[in-house]
Chains A and B, each alone.
Chain A
């Protein structure tokens, strides 16, 4: 499941991260500073990479005349940023692929959730620490393109992509998985679930729904967009006003909200169409099911992009290419619990067994970028 972090002690780490690059790495110049522990001093890690990169650059500069034909792009490193929930198994697949195919050391750094990841990329926009950012979703694409954070690269295999997931035709951000944002329900607590937007307002569902804050969570953002797409810019606030009494709580992240749901705090939760297959696959129960209201799900697309100013652009392109391959795509359902973006890759049985949204709802990213702030502000006003 992508994109969402629990509220945790990583808050403190992120503060360090925010301050560290500017206030720790300035001043003293160190060519080789080995981090005492890679997790405790992020600044140290970055210094170490910077130091290594600098030495390499110097070596290349000196050696360049000797190997006039050598490409300046074939460095032996690749730095990737993602969010906390990026699966360890997919990280391993990427790292091993780069090690075995190219002898390149790929490193993945995690930054809380999608929002934290975007903010990190934005804060470092003039001097990016990452070559590739994996895991922004469609709700951030408009902003990221507007801020000019990524460079265009149309990967090999782009022809095989599903049409509806290519949200940036210039491929500054390339889709690597997709899913539907829908409600889920616990069939043991709620044998007779609502089926329409109208039925969702039924007073029998008082304090029965757990949602996520669109300001902090990507399912939350996508669900807000779904209500706007369905009820219109003029109608969504009225719908939320009526829905409010049926909401138990609005959590800041998906993990907390989903955790409350599986604890049994409420029978309905905002989640992914691919959450029930998780329980079928790993817990052997179909108790948790999709609640596809009026057959609609909001299309969530996760993207990857090469940063503007990436230090290892060659390896970055190799990674975007690799994300499109069958070898990577077929791992997505059971590791990331999202759908492959490449056509004709079969889904596991557990995915075939659950109810799915017949209609993909989607608001174009440039329209989201233009209006999201005031949609969100108006929503906050209603909910506060």
Chain B
């Protein structure tokens, strides 16, 4: 009964906050046109070259971001699933970043660290343009979302049954073979779900593209916004949102299939982890250096942004910027907007976490079903 109640409340939630508003936009878009006319205009939008290039860009940037994101996450996942070291929990908790940072803050972080006047260029004494182009979009996405893959991959890696490795070893498999024939197939589903998670998040990217995309790049999400609020073309907006819905649904479905086929076999083995200091020197140094780099990669931009809040116009350090928030006239609106956005933030982030873990459960459930058939 409790699960049914849960399902019902979830259904009602989605109905109220998701399907009704979406349906109302579609109704508004096609108000006063006949079915034939509506179909014709949908067809026109679907077959336009602009639609094709938006879909291509949206998919392409998400694929590149997800690929790089997974590659960045893999060594971290390996480290936290195989070794204990100071700050392990901290590294593990990096995966919360995407849930607590709003995308507009990510934009500010990127600019203050990687911008032409950012910390990195200042330290190097250069003025490389790292952010206002395709590279910048991918960089911001990897920074924002790579850690989504850490948790998924790490927990899978950790739970690969030791007996498989031992059996293979006793049958004379050497380490390389062991990695490619045992670890990789067992880990693949988790890597794929990590990829898919990042892919779906970046597929729906909005704020980052809006600032760094300029006039050149638009994801479907940005295109929908532009059609609704700038061009007042509700038909195009409706078509784009349908395309987006269908594609992201398809990606989730496809990933579930892939995971089903790859036959996960996981047995929870929560053995105590060896300390990183007990690892071979080479891997100890390599992993340690990588972890430090990763932490700098994530914390550098965030700390730079925070530090910049204390730099006043003219270059001195102080609280003037914060005082400005509270000057009479602006204070009411600022305080209200802070309150409003924190409440909204908490609510939306919770929903985001719920939805994300929902997706994970969904994927994992698919994997379970796959296993049941083996």
A260 CA to B214 CA in the complex, in Å?
A: 13
CB-based contact A11/B225 at 8 Å: yes
Q: Which of A12, A15, A88 meets B333, CB within 8 Å?
A: A88
User: Contact check: which of A123, A285, A383 meets B215 at CB < 8 Å?
Assistant: A383
B24 interface neighbour in A23, A207, A252, Cβ under 8 Å: A23
Contact across chains for A250 and B232 when beta carbons are under 8 A apart: no
Assembly CA distance A266 to B314 (angstroms): 17
Task: From the candidates B117, B132, B211, B330, name the one contacting A88 in the complex (CB within 8 A).
Answer: B330
Scan B124-142; emit 1 where CB is below 8 A from any A CB, else 0: 0000010010000000000
A9 at the interface (CB under 8 A from B): yes
Q: Is the CB of B340 within 8 A of A39?
A: yes
Q: A39-B340, A263-B117 are in contact. Are A251 and B211 (CB under 8 A)?
A: yes
**Chain B positions 229 through 240: 1 when the CB is less than 8 Å from some CB of chain A, otherwise 0:** 111100000000
Is residue A196 within 8 Å, beta carbon to beta carbon, of the partner chain?
no
Query: Do A9 and B341 have beta carbons less than 8 Å apart?
Result: yes
Binds B, one of A59-67, A114-122, A309-317: A114-122
**Residues 197 to 234 of chain B near chain A (Cβ within 8 Å):** 207, 210-212, 214-216, 225-226, 228-232
Complex contact A383–B211 (CB within 8 A) = no
Determine if A265 and B230 form an interchain contact, defined as CB atoms under 8 angstroms apart. no
Nearest residue (CB) in A for B345 is A9
Are B214 and A251 in contact, with the CB atoms below 8 A? yes
> Which of chain B's residues have a CB closer than 8 A to the CB of A207?
116, 129, 132
Shortest distance between the CB of B358 and any CB in chain A (Å): 21
Which chain A residue lies CB-closest to B21? A19
Q: A19 with B24: in contact, given A213-B215, A265-B117 (CB under 8 Å)?
A: yes
Chain B residues, Cβ within 8 Å of A158: none
Question: A338-355, CB under 8 A of B: which get 1 and which 0?
Answer: 000000000000000000
B214 and A119 form a contact (CB under 8 A): no
B228-A18 in contact (CB<8A): yes
CB distance from A369 to the nearest CB of B (A): 15
Query: Is B15 located at the chain interface by the 8 A CB criterion?
Result: no
- Please determine whether B230 and A216 come into contact, CB atoms closer than 8 angstroms: yes
Beta-carbon contact of B129 and A250 below 8 Å:
no
A89–B211 Cα distance when bound, in Å, is 29
Interface check A70, CB cutoff 8 A: no
Asked whether A366 is an interface residue with its Cβ less than 8 Å from the other chain, the reply is no
- Residues of chain B in range 171-211 having any CB-CB distance to chain A below 8 Å: 207, 210-211
Bitwise interface map of A from 5 to 19 toward B, beta carbon under 8 Å scored 1, else 0: 001110110110011
Assess whether B115 is interfacial by the CB under 8 Å rule.
yes
- Which residue on B lies nearest to A8, using beta carbons? B104
Is A248 a contact of B116 with CB atoms below 8 Å? yes
B115 near A263: Cβ-Cβ < 8 Å: yes
* Nearest-neighbor residue (CB-CB) of A283 within chain B: B313
Distance in angstroms from A298 CB to nearest chain B CB is 20
Q: In the complex, which of the residues B212, B229, B230 has the most CB atoms of chain A within 10 Å of its own CB atom?
A: B229
A249 with B214: CB separation less than 8 A: yes
Contact partner, B344, options A9, A14, A115, A250, Cβ 8 Å: A9
Write out, one digit per residue, whether chain B residues 4-39 have a CB within 8 A of any chain A CB (1) or not (0).
000000000000000011001100100000000000
Q: Name the residue among B132, B212, B313 with the largest chain A CB count within 10 angstroms.
A: B132
Chain A residues within an 8 Å CB radius of B313: 262, 283, 285
| A264 neighbours in B (Cβ, 8 Å) | 116-117
Whether a CB of chain B sits under 8 angstroms from the CB of A286 is no
Determine whether B329 belongs to the interface, using a CB cutoff of 8 Å to chain A. Answer: yes
B118 → chain A closest CB, angstroms: 8
The answer on a CB contact under 8 Å between A384 and B228 is no
CA distance A283 to B314 in the complex (A): 8
A260 touches B215 (CB 8 A): no
Inter-chain contact B25/A19, CB cutoff 8 Å: yes
Given contacts A19-B21, A248-B116, A256-B211, contact A384 B231 (CB under 8 A): no
CA separation between A150 and B232, bound complex, in Å? 19
Q: In B54-85, which residues have CB < 8 Å from any A CB?
A: none
* Residues of B79-125 contacting chain A, CB below 8 A: 102, 104, 111-112, 115-117
Given contacts A88-B330, A249-B214, 4 further A-B contacts (CB under 8 A): A9-B102, A15-B21, A40-B340, A215-B215
7 cross-chain pairs, A with B, having the tightest CB-CB distances, nearest first: A264-B117, A249-B132, A88-B329, A250-B214, A383-B215, A250-B215, A283-B313
19 interchain pairs (CB within 8 A)?
Answer: A7-B207, A7-B211, A11-B225, A12-B344, A15-B21, A15-B228, A19-B25, A40-B340, A88-B329, A119-B232, A213-B215, A249-B214, A251-B211, A252-B211, A263-B117, A265-B111, A283-B314, A383-B215, A384-B215
B-to-A contact residues, CB < 8 Å: 20-21, 24-25, 28, 102, 104, 111-112, 115-117, 129, 132, 207, 210-212, 214-216, 225-226, 228-232, 313-314, 329-330, 333, 336, 340-341, 344
